[in-house]
Amino acid sequence: MVETENINTQAIWKILEDVYDPEVPVLSVIDLGIIRDVSIDNPPSGDGGILVTITPTYTGCPAMDVISMNIRFALIQNGYKKVNIKTILSPAWTTEWMSETGKEKLKSYGIAPPKAMQSVCTPGIFQQEEAVQCPLCNSYHTKLISRFGSTACKALYQCEDCKEPFDYFKCH
Amino acid sequence: MKKDLISYTIHLADSALILGHRNSEWCGHGPVLEQDIAITNISLDLIGQARNFYQYAAQLTGNNTTEDTLAYLRDAREFKNCLLTELPNGDWAVTVLRQFFFSAYQYLLYQQLQHSSDTQLAAIAEKSLKEVTYHLRWSSEWVIRLGDGTSESRQRILNAIEDLWMFTGELFKPADYEIEATAKGFGVNAELLKNDWLQNIKAIFEEATLPVPDENAWMQTGGKTGSHTEHLGFILADMQFLQRTYPGCEW
């Protein structure tokens, strides 16, 4: 067991790099940008354990409960006995928090990564995201099929050149 | 103060849960696969919002109250959802129009609520607003497609307007706990949302070549204070059956 005085938050961040999103298994919780803080829950208010602060991607994302459990398991396996996980909603998660390595991993997994700029996060009707690149043939000649895809965080696209349908991790 | 905050939070939760449940009834029955996925994604977002509000209400209430006891163990008279959210799905036109009316309202509501003096309500609103933005865009586009589509689709959405319009007035008629919530600074004055809501409805209906009904028409109310249509009981029977029959059941 790791005693409170020996807890090193850098080591915790390192462990979290190996906790993956069950829905998009190439992304770690760090890549997703959902770990907002790692600290020691100091007495008297805390129990001297680790406090991991997370934020959900989407409010109804069913993966969040599993992610929370997996974070706990990973830390316990590494000898940390007291693990507290706190969920915060504000500031709201955005795809801008996704790491660059995360975006590269998504692309090689066959999911188009979110674009750097949020271009269509407004209620204006019939908007098209500009030039989402096909993760398979790299063509920018693609079209939106549906704003809502296989999970809350993705939209469904199709490539007009290679004709393959693909998921796009939409800006949020 | 606390009682009004709890009632207000439960009201927000109930509307989100009941509409989320209604939309989920489309799962596996959507007109095409992509739209089946869209409407069930919207369900998921709404149920997620409901969970956040219920968790907060449970924390405020104490006495072993949980998000589950609030969702599964209250009777129809205790539910404070707007009547619009409990109406049957009807055809696709009824479902998308109901979503459009409600999303246009929720969009304005959450825009204001994110500045609430209550930090947790503000945080939930800020988070949810991003999702509601998608819902509003999606449902607006469908209203336009149906209204300005074929004679069949047009007739269906005209029927839907006829059926749903009288349930829109309730959104802007505050219950006592909403009036208290506004007075104490943590809630939104629903009456003040009406004009902007109407402007949005008019803009989309114009694009859809649909007539805008009379805003001063007689409106049905009661849901916010527990007087529901006959439909809510059936929803609860479906949704609460398992927890009522096998208390505490988990899987």
Q: Whole domain around residue A77: which residue ranges?
A: 4-93
End residue of a domain, out of A74, A93, A112? A93
Max mean pLDDT among A78-87, A130-139, A162-171, B142-151 falls in B142-151
**Taking CB atoms and an 8 Å cutoff, what residues of chain B touch A152?**
41, 44-45
**Taking CB atoms and an 8 Å cutoff, what residues of chain A touch B122?**
90
* CB burial string B11-43: b at 16+ within 10 A, e below: bbbbbbbbbbbbbbbbeeebeeeebbbbbbbbb
pLDDT bucket at A61, cuts 50 / 70 / 90: confident
Q: What is the reported pLDDT for A42?
A: 83
* Strand pairing category for A154-159 and A142-146: antiparallel
| Cα separations in angstroms, B112 against A121, B60, B163, B187, B221 | 18, 22, 29, 9, 23
Per-residue pLDDT at A121 exceeds 80: no
Same domain, A117 and A73: no
Same domain, A80 and A20: yes
Same domain, A42 and A70: yes
Q: What is the reported pLDDT for A44?
A: 80
Question: At a CB cut-off of 8 Å and minimum separation 6, what does B240 contact?
Answer: B72, B73
CA distance B45 to B132: 8
Query: Could you tell me which residue, A170 or B51, shows the higher pLDDT?
Result: B51
Q: Tell me whether B145 touches chain A (CB under 8 Å).
A: no
CA distance A101 to B207: 43
**Taking CB atoms and an 8 Å cutoff, what residues of chain A touch B120?**
89
Number of domains composing chain A:
2
Residue contact A59–B137, C-beta within 8 A: no
**B window 66-125, beta carbon within 8 A of A:** 107, 119-120, 122-124
Q: ipTM, 2 decimals?
A: 0.85
pLDDT bucket at A172, cuts 50 / 70 / 90: confident
pLDDT bucket at A150, cuts 50 / 70 / 90: confident
Q: How far does the CA of residue B137 sit from the closest CA of chain A (Å)?
A: 5
**Taking CB atoms and an 8 Å cutoff, what residues of chain A touch B130?**
92, 121, 172
Q: What is the reported pLDDT for B1?
A: 63
**Taking CB atoms and an 8 Å cutoff, what residues of chain A touch B105?**
none
Out of A95-104, A123-132, B108-117, B200-209, least confident range: A123-132
Q: Which residue of A has its CA nearest to B130?
A: A172
Same domain, A59 and A112: no
Same domain, A84 and A145: no
Per-residue pLDDT at B233 exceeds 90: yes
Which CATH superfamily groups domain B2-245? Ferritin, core subunit, four-helix bundle (1.20.1260.10)
Out of A130-134, A158-162, B162-166, least confident range: A130-134
Same domain, A103 and A58: no
Q: Tell me whether B138 touches chain A (CB under 8 Å).
A: yes
Same domain, A88 and A139: no
Task: Tell me the average pLDDT across A33-38.
Answer: 95
Q: What is the reported pLDDT for A43?
A: 80
Per-residue pLDDT at B29 exceeds 90: yes
Element containing residue A64 per DSSP (H, E):
helix A63-77
Per-residue pLDDT at A119 exceeds 60: no
Share of chain A above pLDDT 70, in %: 92
End residue of a domain, out of A93, A128, A157? A93
Out of A149-153, B90-94, B245-249, least confident range: A149-153
Q: Tell me whether A59 touches chain B (CB under 8 Å).
A: yes
Same domain, A9 and A89: yes
pLDDT tens-digit series, residues B104-157: 999 999 999 999 999 999 999 999 999 999 999 999 999 999 999 999 999 999
Q: Across the A/B interface, how many CB contacts are shorter than 8 Å? A: 87
